[in-house]
Every structure is written in C-alpha cells, then in structure tokens.
Structure 1
Amino acid sequence: MTSESSSSARFRSGAVARMLGMPVATLRVWERRYAVCSPELTPSGQRLYSATDIERLALLKRLTDAGHAIGRLAGLDRTQLQAAASTHANTLAAAVPTAPPPSMPEAVRVVVIGPALGTRLQRPAVQRASGRTLHVLGTFEQADAIGPFALETPPDLLLLAWPTLTLERWHAWRTGLAHQSPALLNVPCAVFYGFAATADCDALRRQGVTLLRSPQDDDTLGRWLGQQRARLPHDATAASPLPPPRRWSDAALVDIAGLSSTVACECPRHIAELLIQLSHFEAYSAECEHRSPADAALHHHLWRVTAQARASFEAALEHVARHEGLLLPAPGAD
C-alpha cells in the first residue's frame, strides 16, 4: 500500500475501537461529550476515521490510561498531546532507577605447559567450542620457566600437555613446582595426555586433577576446556554482576509493538519484537545450562551474552519511547 492510499484510508468505529483496545461506547462518548475528533459520516450514518483521527485517539487513550482526565486533554492539539505524553514518559523514566550497564565476564587466566597445546588453543574451532572464555597468559616448554611470570600475574588454571602421564611424573612435577613457584600449588590443574595407566588416572582424579586423553578433535578439546572453567571454585564470572531480570513480559511487549502502528516511527515495534526473541533464547540457554552438564559452560556464556543484549535493548526501547512520546507499561506489568 502506498503512503497516499494509506493516508486516505478510512476505518469504521468498531475497527478503531479494536485497534485502540477500548469499547465503542467510550469512543462515542468522547466524540459527543468532548468532541475529541470529527470523523466523516457516510450517507447511512456510519462513522469513518482517518489515520490522523486514529493517531490522536491513540494518544488520548494512552494518556487517559496513565491517569490523565479526558476533559483536560480533549482541547489539546496533536503537538500538545505529544508533549504531554513525552513529559509523562520522562517522569516515569526518572522515577525508575537505572541499572548499571552489564559488564562482560572476565576470561579465565590460563598458563599452558606444552607449546603444541598453547598453539592449538588459538584455533577458531577450539575458541568457539570453549565459549571464548580462556585468556592464555603464557605457554612454556617446562614448568620451571613459569615461576616469575606466573607469580606476577597469577593464573586461574594450569593446563598441562604430556604425551605420557604417570603418577611418579606427576609427583616429581609437583615437587619441582613447590620449589620453583609454591603459590601455584593451589591452582587447579588439567592434563591433556596421550598414554597412562588406568590406576594412575584413577589416583589423579581422586586428587582433583582433571584429565582428557588425546587425540581429540578441536570441538571436543574446546568443550573440555569450557568445562574446566565451569568447575573452578573461584570462577571469574562469579564476581561479575548478574544481568537484570526482564522488564516486560511477552504480553506487554506485544502491546508495545502495537503502539507503533499509530505513529510514523516503526522502531518501537521492531525493538519489541526483537526483545521477545532475545528473551526466548535467554530462557532456552538457561534451560540447556541445567539440562546438559557437558555443555554447561557454553550455555552459561550464551545465557549471559543474550541477557546483556536484552537489557541493552530494553534501555534502547525506553529511550525511543521517550523520544516518540510513547507511554510504556510499568516494568513487570503484564
């Protein structure tokens, strides 16, 4: 439909009442008692409303829903009504405390012993599968080289790549670590190994060491690394603030999307529809986090990123609404 044909379209009172969410009887009372608009009359006496009439009625409806008396609004023109709506929206926004912008969680600091593993961690497939949550502080050939470096910037996790793993080699490495860098003895360790006796692996697991046998593809290695992050008792993301909860339900967002059908700007509708999709994916990621322990770290990362995006778009919607003079539902309202 062209803009010219859209501006010349006329709507009957029943259709207008449904668009505005108000009884036809109220619409006619407003016309008779307050002369809020002057729709055309057909020869048979039916009222036909223009797009300009509907826009004015929509502004009046939102303002009366917000508590303004129709008798005080009826004599205002379109510019004055929009100014009143904008003032009301700004007042409501000022009354609601603004949450600080969500911060991205910090990456886990990792020191790698084994150059081949350090190089492999930079592969896109490994980064993608791990949730891009690892920050490699350094890669070293031997453990005794990390002492001064690691003490200056303590890691959250030590990653070791050993072709052969034995209990004797593990204890010898821990003894050397105690002399070279005793502060690292309390850092959790994960070992990517080639060959080992079952008894030795069982003994190390009982000591809290996480093991993964090589070779593994990049996706499996990345997922395993993501799981190490989720198991850390001092996970860096635990200290970061949680994203704020949803401000509007799906029903409220559907109402907000309907508001923009009566104004020239389509941004409120697009943002409201995008918020519904983001909120659904946020809930999906949270469910997957609890449903699949193997993918917990990845889905926790997806949940955080989506929740932060949702919070940012909620703030954007409020900003657009103030600019357009739209009255949004109160946060938490259905």
Structure 2
Amino acid sequence: MSPEKAPPASVAGDRPATESLRRTGAVARMLRMPVATLRVWERRYALTQGKLSASGQRLYSEADVRRLALIRQLTELGHAIGSLAGLDMEQLQQVAATHAELHAARPTPPQAAQGQWRLAVVGTSLAQRLDKPGLLQRLGRPLQLLGPFETIEQAGLALKREEVDALLLHEPQLHAGWLGALESAAPGLSGLPMAVLYGFASEAVCETLAAVGISLLRAPQPDVVILQWLRGLLALSAPPRSAPAWPPQAPAPRRWSDQELIAFANRSTTVACECPRHVAELLMQLSQFERYSAQCANRNEADAQLHQFLQQLTAESRHRFETALSRIAQHEGLIAEQP
C-alpha cells in the first residue's frame, strides 16, 4: 500500500483560498470617507488593482484597505492625492515617516502665535476631528486649540487668565436650562462667539440658542461641513482687542422727523419710479433700528460692544440715505434741506 501523497504546494499557496474581500461601500465606511470620493479616486488614479465581483462591483483585499487607509491619512495631513497615487506601500510609509519627523523638528515661530485664532474646545472627540493639519490649513487662518476640556466648568477654570476668541462645544443633548448652566459655570466664556455641535435638542431650545447668536450644527457631520462651520464662527469672532476694527463715533443727528418722511413718501413726484418713497421708508426703518440698538439689553461687555457697533453702523447708513433724500428733495422741491 503506497503512502499518501502530500498536498501540492499550489494548494497552500501564498494567498489563502478564503481571502476576505470587501465592497466599496464597506471600505468607505471603514475609512470614514464618502463612497463617491473613493470611487472618484479609483476612476482618476487607479489606486488599487481590485478584483470585480460577478455583478461588476469592485472588491478590496486587506492589503488594499491598508494602503487606502494610509493614503487617506496622508491627504488629511495636506499631501495631494495625485502625488500619492503612484507610490507603493513602502514609499507611502516613508512619506508618512518623513512628515512626522519634519513636524516634530519644526520650531514654532514666536510671531506666529500673535495672529492665531484661539479657539477653546469642550469635547475630546470634537477636538480630535479638528486636530488635522489638512483641515486646519484650509481654514485660512492660524488656529490654536485650547483644550480639549471635558466640561465647561473645567474650561472656565483653566482659561480664567487666557485670551480666548471663540468657544466650540460638543453636547450630546441640549435642554432648556443649558445656556443658563453654562453662564453660571463659566461666566468668563459666556460672552464669546459660540458654536455647538449637538446630538439632540427640541426645536424650542434651538430657536432660543439661535436667537442669542449661538451657531448650532446637528451631529454627525463630515469634516468639510465642520470646516465651513468653523469659517462661519471665525466671521463671528470679535476683532483683536488691541486693534478695534471700527472707531466709535457720536452719531450725526437726524435731518428729518418721521412725520416729514411720511409726508414725503405720500406726495406725488415727477420721478417715474418709486425710489423717493422707498428711500423715505428706508430712512424711517434705519432710524427705528438705530434707536432699538441703542436701547437693547446687554448681558455683558461683549454684548454692549456689539450693540454699539450696530448703532454706529446704522447711523452711518442713515446719514448716507439722508444725503440721497436731500438730493431728491432738492429736485422735487418738496422738503427743504435743513442745515
């Protein structure tokens, strides 16, 4: 009886017969990226030599997934996808190692901190999403993250003597007393431009927070939306204390009363359009808002500065429209210009 023959070497092979293959959707979820982006990468750059299923869908091996994960990490660090597409795994790892070495050795210029936007972050997971060089480079302004802090109380204590430009928070749930609790826990931070990434909140709570100028964003959101949201918060942040963006000035007195403007709006004119009436109505609205902003309640010094700015800007606009109405009045002879 002859002995059993050993199985052929080709059966053992280098690649297991039951190699795990994943479809595009599953790989995109693993890499935390849109499926459409992964398909565009493949169509333009042919990043992998993936197989196709019987139905024509692309399949990825474990090695393919590891390579794509490293490419995605490098693009988030600021590397262009086109420069990475032709590199093998060893070359990609060398790029990652070189990037890490340069980042660790690069000194921070002393003058860079002066123009930085100082953003206090409450929420560890949110801070991890922000701490990506590729994301921050697209912000268009140097950003310094303060924190992250686990709670607003912790942030308030740690930042008592710090200059802070804006406050960014991650809150799983917003309730009716959330804003009051924040102001009590960290009064020094409550007057800052503020944005909240939240999980759940009633419509009434969202309306209340939005009414006081808090920027809201419902989680979860992709990084590109977070970036746009940060740009909006950057636009709301106060100008540097050492260089005010506008000099406060005493507003010029009104030229005409509401009664005179109403009379002008109701008179017939030789101008074919309705611009004279519209200018008179705009002047009344600007005057009303100017008075409103001067009397608006202020929660703190930041609120007072905002309302002073609105009053000043409205007074300047009102003065310009008064000049326009003066020219119309001279043309029509309806209202004599007052000195």
Query: Which structure ranks higher in relative contact order (CA pairs < 8 Å, sequence separation ≥ 6)?
Result: 1
Q: Do the two structures share a fold, i.e. TM-score over 0.5?
A: no
Q: Give 1 or 2: higher helix fraction.
A: 1
Superposition TM-score, scaled by structure 1 size: 0.36
